[in-house]
């Protein structure tokens, strides 16, 4: 019997990159996956790959910043499988690289909408289904930038800091239940999100990592899989670093 047999996971931004890697890892251990993504092509491709690997999937297309997306994800998962065990709030955008006085205010709104409001929305609509069964695992993907702040990445750093604060608050709210809420703070991971950044910005981030390299999707997915499991029983509202030695607190 696999770790996640009969369990249902909702993974945002699961069409590619880190989200797909997480969906693939959870699926390989028996989970059924609700793929949430804005891009129909990558979502369909991800679903097809997972199906070929024997994983049952549902697809929800939409912007995580829209309430309707979280509501639809919950509805489809419940209608098909009758339960939601795992929520991975992975969807995120890097934002433009520039100093705060150079960025328009609208840039903060845009990044906030995906990186923080989306996490809030999915927690708001999904957690009640976990409360009904007194079981669940919520894993929010924050960033080392949310702890340390990266220059020329104020919207990203600030919203990821918000994800950390949200995680701590919700974890405490649910501490007496069977639901665990944690987040991870990766350093730079080798995914297509790097295409949104300048090489100078990427080089800066790698220079801060004592291991001298980016993280790999499989490494992050392995940590998420543990946090999503029943084995993660005495950690909640916690921040787990996966930063190649960069994190100092």
Report yes or no: 174 and 126 within 8 Å, Cβ to Cβ: no
Considering 135, 156, 204, 249, which one is annotated as catalytic? 156
Residue 10: DSSP 8-state: E
Does the annotation mark 156 as catalytic?
yes
DSSP output for 98-151: B-TTTS-HHHHHHHHIIIIIHHHHHHHHHHHHHHHHT-EEEEEE--THHHH--T
Two tokens at 247? 């994190």
Whole-number Å distance between alpha carbons of 126 and 50: 23
Contact between 171 and 236 under an 8 Å Cβ cutoff? The reply is yes
Q: How many CB atoms are closer than 10 A to CB 215?
A: 20
Burial 6-37 (b: 16+ CB within 10 A, else e): ebbbbbbbbbbbbbbbbbbbbbbebbbbbbbb
Which are the catalytic amino acids?
156
């Amino acid at each position: 019997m696999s770790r996640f047999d009969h369990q249902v996971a909702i993974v945002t931004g699961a069409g590619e990159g880190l989200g797909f890697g997480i969906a693939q890892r959870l699926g390989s251990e028996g989970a059924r996956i609700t793929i949430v993504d804005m891009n129909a092509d990558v979502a369909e491709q991800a679903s097809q790959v997972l199906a070929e690997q024997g994983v049952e999937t549902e697809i929800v297309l939409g912007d995580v910043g829209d309430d309707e997306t979280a509501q639809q994800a919950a509805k489809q998962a419940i209608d098909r499988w009758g339960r939601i065990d795992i929520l991975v709030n992975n969807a995120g955008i890097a934002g433009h690289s520039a100093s705060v006085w150079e960025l328009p205010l609208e840039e903060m709104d845009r990044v906030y909408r995906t990186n923080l409001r989306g996490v809030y929305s999915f927690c708001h609509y999904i957690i009640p289904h976990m409360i009904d069964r007194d079981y669940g695992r919520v894993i929010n993907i924050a960033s080392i930038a949310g702890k340390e702040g990266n220059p020329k990445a104020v919207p990203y750093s600030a919203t990821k800091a918000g994800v950390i604060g949200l995680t701590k608050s919700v974890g405490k709210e649910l501490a007496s239940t069977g639901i665990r809420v944690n987040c991870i703070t990766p350093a730079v991971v080798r995914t297509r999100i790097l295409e949104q950044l300048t090489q100078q910005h990427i080089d800066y981030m790698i220079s801060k990592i004592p291991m001298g390299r980016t993280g790999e999707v499989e490494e992050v997915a392995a940590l998420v899989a543990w946090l999503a499991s029943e084995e993660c029983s005495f950690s909640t509202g916690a921040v787990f670093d996966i930063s190649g030695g960069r994190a100092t607190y």
